[in-house]
Structure 1
């Protein structure tokens, strides 16, 4: 059980990093350096931005649930 949750946590963490970098930056910074060029191609559509926001929130929720579940399972 712990191994499955740990794998889900690792996958959610990697996906979360990717999704955050894909967001359109509001100023200079890491989001413009890494994700700015890629997201500018897809950033014109507000539907894509909304779907990216939803996917980021869902991934963050999965990440949070995995952290709580692992914390409860490792409790002595």
Structure 2
């Protein structure tokens, strides 16, 4: 496995975990997991609109990094070398 594939694999795992965490931090419509996790972060006086906008941007960036890593790995990953 080349150095590029190792870097992409690490970046894939980090961006995947970051995507999961950021999606769970979004405010939901009901009393779901996001409300339990982020209830202390959202306050009417703290400007949650700006917080949501930045959270949206971070989620899009991490999802884009995840997608690009998957595409590049699909092209460059050597076939038949897993487990060797």
| TM-score under structure 1 length normalisation | 0.81
Q: Across the two proteins, how many residue pairs are aligned to each other?
A: 75
- Computed over aligned residues only, the root mean square deviation of the Cα atoms, in angstroms, reads 2.0
Partner of 1:2: 5
Query: Following superposition of structure 1 onto structure 2, how do residues 55-70 of structure 1 map, counting pairs within 5 Å?
Result: 55-70=58-73
Relative to total residues, which structure has the larger helix share, 1 or 2? 1
Partner of 2:35: 32
Partner of 1:20: 23
Say whether the 8 Å CA contact 2:42–2:48 is kept in structure 1: no
Q: Which has the larger radius of gyration?
A: 2
